[in-house]
Chains A and B, each alone.
Chain A
Amino acid sequence: MDVLNNVLIVIGEIMVAVGAVADLIASTGMNRFPNFFVRLHAATVGTIWGAFVPLIGASLISIGADFLGPYRYFAAGGAVVTAVLVLILAPAGSHALARAAHRSRAARVFPKVVDHLEEDRGGSDA
């Protein structure tokens, strides 16, 4: 049982570390990327890899943390629920932002290969 707990804790810690690295990458991208849509990509890297993954890691760590007693299941459950909420809500939020920016033409779609949304609307390449 101790081995299993240690494995869980190590996996969880790796996930938290991955999350920290992803957050660093995402914040670098937010600062360095040229325009709204590319920055939005960096922001979602920060929410999925930088929030969802470490939350799952935190739940694994708390399941493995024997000294918490029965409270570890509360902590793990809370972390998993939060992670699932982030997983559902973050893409919807960034989708709404991107759609609003595209519709209002507030941001230029700059490094683009194809823009089907613009074609559907019958607009020319802006």
Chain B
Amino acid sequence: MGRWQKVVITASMVAFVALLALALSAGGLGFTLPAGRVRDVARWYLFTTFNPDLELFSAMAPEGVTSIVWDYRGLDTLFETAVFFLAIIGSVAIMRDIKTGGGSKPKGSTGLSPIVKTVTRITVGIILAVAASIALHGHLTPGGGFQGGATAAVAPLLILVIFSRYYIERLGVSKNAMLAIRSLGLVGIAVTAFIVLAVTSLQGGVAYVFQNQPKPYAPAGMPYEVGGSLTGGTLLLFNIFEMFAVSAGFTIIFLLLAIPESEVLGVLRGGEDGH
């Protein structure tokens, strides 16, 4: 690359950044973000997502995205969860004969240096706390069960890489334990989907599947606040169960990915090469 070419490229990059900064500071995206005008659909969701005066149409949770995901279109999210579950089950089925644990610990120290391990011990706790916060506040602030679960799954991934497979097995994070947690999470989601219907049916009333707040002709609903704290009705339960299901699902995938290729190929090949 010639000297002039370098000068031109550098100058154009500097000019681009400077122009972008100028445009932004001069209000290039508008001075009020988000824009003052929203579309009618968005206006309707913003109007109804938390509106005590309009309880028959409201999800009674101030977080619009979580309300849409688990209330307005809750069935769709259930199917998304099912797709994710099937993907995990598929990979577990492919790897069914391969032992994730039970191997003998290699001699000597494993994993990265003590400095990295110490820092990881600190940050794993922070990561789990942040994940719980994202999931448990999902009905109040941006976030939710899937996001919290994906964040929580970073903790076992870090332990897996920085300590070792054997260390994480000793902590009790095995494939079967994670499958159990994942199944419990999914059962919890299913129970939450039917909870209003089940309770109302026992009392002789009518309700919808996936019902959260009272709707026309179905006056039952989950309480949207407990002791003055907003719970979003079923949204909090959905978020908690989804967090367990997603974090356990991702952990299973990470555990499977941590198996050395030589062990996998030996089992997948079976007795005959090339078939």
Interface contact A96-B112, CB-CB below 8 Å: yes
Whether A89 sits at the interface, judged by CB under 8 Å, is: yes
CB neighbors of A among B114-129 (8 A) = 115-116, 119-120, 122-123, 126
Of chain A, the residue at the smallest CB distance from B126 is A85
A33, B123: Cα distance in complex, Å? 32
Whether A32 sits at the interface, judged by CB under 8 Å, is: no
Whether A108 sits at the interface, judged by CB under 8 Å, is: no
Number of A-B contacts (CB under 8 A): 20
Interface contact A88-B122, CB-CB below 8 Å: yes
Interface contact A96-B116, CB-CB below 8 Å: yes
Q: Chain A, interface size: which category? A: under 10
Contacts of B112 in A (CB 8 A): 96, 99
Interface contact A95-B113, CB-CB below 8 Å: yes
* Contact residues of A: prevailing secondary structure: helix
B residues contacting the other copy or chain, number (CB 8 A):
9
Contacts of B123 in A (CB 8 A): 85, 88-89
Contacts of A99 in B (CB 8 A): 112-113
Question: Interface digits, A59-84 against B, CB 8 Å rule (1 contact, 0 not)?
Answer: 00000000000000000000000000
Contacts of B126 in A (CB 8 A): 85
- In the complex, how many angstroms separate the beta carbon of B151 from the nearest chain A beta carbon? 14
Interface contact B119-A89, CB-CB below 8 Å: yes
Whether A21 sits at the interface, judged by CB under 8 Å, is: no
A96, B116: Cα distance in complex, Å? 7
CB neighbors of B among A79-126 (8 A) = 85, 88-89, 92, 95-96, 99
Of chain B, the residue at the smallest CB distance from A92 is B119
Contacts of B116 in A (CB 8 A): 92, 95-96
Of chain A, the residue at the smallest CB distance from B115 is A95
A96, B111: Cα distance in complex, Å? 11
A96, B122: Cα distance in complex, Å? 16
- In the complex, how many angstroms separate the beta carbon of B249 from the nearest chain A beta carbon? 26
Contacts of A88 in B (CB 8 A): 119, 122-123
A96, B119: Cα distance in complex, Å? 11
Contacts of A89 in B (CB 8 A): 119, 123
A79, B153: Cα distance in complex, Å? 24
Contacts of A92 in B (CB 8 A): 115-116, 119-120
Of chain B, the residue at the smallest CB distance from A103 is B113
CB neighbors of B among A24-83 (8 A) = none
Of chain B, the residue at the smallest CB distance from A88 is B119
A32, B62: Cα distance in complex, Å? 51
Contacts of B115 in A (CB 8 A): 92, 95-96
- In the complex, how many angstroms separate the beta carbon of B162 from the nearest chain A beta carbon? 8
Question: Interface digits, B91-120 against A, CB 8 Å rule (1 contact, 0 not)?
Answer: 000000000000000000000110110011
- In the complex, how many angstroms separate the beta carbon of A17 from the nearest chain B beta carbon? 15
A88, B121: Cα distance in complex, Å? 12
Contacts of A95 in B (CB 8 A): 113, 115-116
Contacts of B119 in A (CB 8 A): 88-89, 92
Contacts of B122 in A (CB 8 A): 88
Query: Assuming A95-B115, A99-B113, what are 18 further A-B pairs, CB within 8 angstroms?
Result: A85-B123, A85-B126, A88-B119, A88-B122, A88-B123, A89-B119, A89-B123, A92-B115, A92-B116, A92-B119, A92-B120, A95-B113, A95-B116, A96-B112, A96-B113, A96-B115, A96-B116, A99-B112
Considering the complex of A and B, which 10 residue pairs feature the smallest CB-CB distances, nearest first?
A92-B119, A96-B116, A92-B116, A95-B115, A99-B113, A96-B112, A88-B119, A92-B115, A88-B122, A89-B119
Pairs across A and B, CB under 8 Å, 20 listed: A85-B123, A85-B126, A88-B119, A88-B122, A88-B123, A89-B119, A89-B123, A92-B115, A92-B116, A92-B119, A92-B120, A95-B113, A95-B115, A95-B116, A96-B112, A96-B113, A96-B115, A96-B116, A99-B112, A99-B113
